[in-house]
Amino acid sequence: MKSRMTLGFAVATMEAGLLNNEKFVCQISNLKGPVVVVNQYREKAMDSAMFGSHVKVLNVRDRGLSLSRNLAMNALAEMDADFVVVCDDDIHLIPEGIQEAHDLIWQDGGQ
């Protein structure tokens, strides 16, 4: 049994549009839990190396927001994420909100 529950993040983007949101890119790079970025593209793929080892980038040519989220959720399950925050590429995270989510998840072993 895991000693701590894991909070993962699923990010959907198109044509690497996430890269236009520098604040969120920085936040993703500094998160402690697993992150999956699904980039739907025709011309502009993304590289996981720009983020760190906790971030997995899936470049897909298929279209659809539900598809992106499902791909991210499946990948996060493989990365042992217990809970997932679903994100679009035009947001910023509120650190206090992430901390509150962590506190709630880890309270009583996440049960």
Average pLDDT value for residue range 86-110: 86
Question: Which tops the pLDDT comparison, 9 or 48?
Answer: 9
Taking only the tens place, the pLDDT of each residue in 27-75 is 999 998 999 999 999 999 999 898 989 999 999 999 999 999 999 999 9
Q: Tokens at residue 33, please?
A: 């839990």
Has residue 108 got a pLDDT over 80? Answer: no
Residue pointed to by tokens 């997932």: 84
- Please give the pLDDT value at position 109: 58
